[in-house]
Structure 1
């Protein structure tokens, strides 16, 4: 009798687990397919780097140095055509009133207003502070984060004096002897640096190393609420920077290369197109 009851209990438990598994799969499949496309726009110039400001305006830079600004509906708002041909390695627009651009080939950076009017370009002229910058971005306090690929150090540069405010040596942090730094961004008083070999390095807002997120081979990432967002293998990867929970959602088209999110809108990029979706 006890044996029969045990078998019945096991059978019920297995059925419950199977039902739960099916429900989870159904929910994931439904979420993966719930893409409502609002617009499809042919870009003014092919996308090389992208960014988004707090109002949902999109900024797209191309290999020839041109920068285009689109509103959240995909309407072209402004265009910048450079007089000095160079490719922005990074553009960053989260401040809203101005856009930061880093030019690796000339070791320079520039600011643009919301109409894409350019200020003069600034050089990292202090060779004792910087030698060969791989990445650079704007900090929340309006100074500059600079990743020195030659000295393997992260520095915060005073925008007025061009002197280093803080410096963190990366030699003891990188577990892999090889490295490939691809992107840098400050978000919620944390600095994130993607290294395709080692993962995403996380620092506080004065450059102290905190941890490494197990996310590899990522060339670009953005944020939505507490999630770091990237594209890999035809999927959008959500990684919560606090709970460390990871979620994957299949893309409507695996050929997308960039993703940005603002409110319920998802902006997906191919080289020459921007598709705007609403994700319910």
Structure 2
């Protein structure tokens, strides 16, 4: 079957809010999905299952297609690609999960922003280790992610620097000041992710700052109003205007894929796209679709 994400009409996405820190929020309401051109014949979403998970939080996919999502009590749920429940991790002490990163091949990163802690889990959602950022940073981390080489990227909100930490040597290997990039604006950093040798920093005010994997600034993508983005193959995607907006990372071609027919766009708070499955998050839980 032809995938909807290979056949949708090309159009320019309009930036809109996707999620506040640690909690997805409703996408922009206009234009509605019904006003968007229909996808090509045969490109359909097939509902596989619906999972009850009230007020789901941040979520991430690993390279095997497994899904990790925080619930309203900040427990981490692991599901198989088709939505079958696998494992649950419950932290011994409370903390707000602001970011999950599962793309690393061997471990999952959990960032607790309120207690400034990074937790590493294995592929069975069992703890591997943790870092207290208050011992590493002279300031407060706003966003964090795990690089493919197991180094940590941290956004220090106190001095507006992007820093890379090598856990093996316990040293910072990169420090990139952001004040000249930001200028006089008041940034609102929400999300950090390394993908295909580039680092993407989402600023809700100014757009998406792109750096190389050594922390050198490359460009800015003009999509303000976002709180998170996703990646699939060579595309960056986000939820806006009642649809999935996709941007080709190298040609910058843009296209739009409508949400499944019959799904109220105002109820969808976040979308994740895997190779074979897609996940739509609402206040009541998530829906798993075969692509």
Bin for the TM-score computed over the shorter chain = 0.7 to 0.9
Q: Does 1:65 align with 2:74?
A: yes
Q: Does 1:219 align with 2:231?
A: no
Unaligned runs of 5+ in 2: 1-8, 12-35
Cα deviation, residue 175, structure 1? 4.6
CA RMSD of aligned residues (A): 2.3
CA deviation digits over 1:192-220, x for unaligned, max 9? 01101111000000100100011111111
Match of 1:94, SS state, is: coil
CA deviation digits over 1:86-126, x for unaligned, max 9? 11111111124311111111111011111111134321244
For 2:99, the equivalent position in structure 1 comes to 90
Candidates 140, 143, 146, aligned match of 1:135:
143
TM-score by length of 1: 0.84
1:178-257 equivalent positions in 2, closer than 5 A:
178-252=186-260, 253=263, 254=265, 255-257=267-269
For 2:281, the equivalent position in structure 1 comes to 269
Which is helix-richer, 1 or 2? 1
Unaligned runs of 5+ in 1: 1-22
Mapped contact 2:74–2:95 kept (Cα < 8 A): yes
Cα deviation, residue 142, structure 1? 0.6
Q: 1:216 to 1:24 in 2, by over 3 A?
A: closer
Q: 1:47 to 1:29 in 2, by over 3 A?
A: same
Q: Does 1:171 align with 2:183?
A: no
Mapped contact 1:43–1:274 kept (Cα < 8 A): yes
Q: Does 1:146 align with 2:158?
A: no
Structure-1 separation of matches of 2:114 and 2:10: 48
Please, which moves more after superposition, 182-191 or 212-221?
212-221
Structure-2 separation of matches of 1:225 and 1:100: 21
For 1:258, the equivalent position in structure 2 comes to 270
Q: 1:226 to 1:32 in 2, by over 3 A?
A: farther
Mapped contact 1:176–1:197 kept (Cα < 8 A): no
Question: What is the aligned length?
Answer: 256
For 1:106, the equivalent position in structure 2 comes to 115
Please, which moves more after superposition, 256-265 or 61-70?
256-265
Mapped contact 1:40–1:273 kept (Cα < 8 A): no
Q: 1:108 to 1:24 in 2, by over 3 A?
A: closer
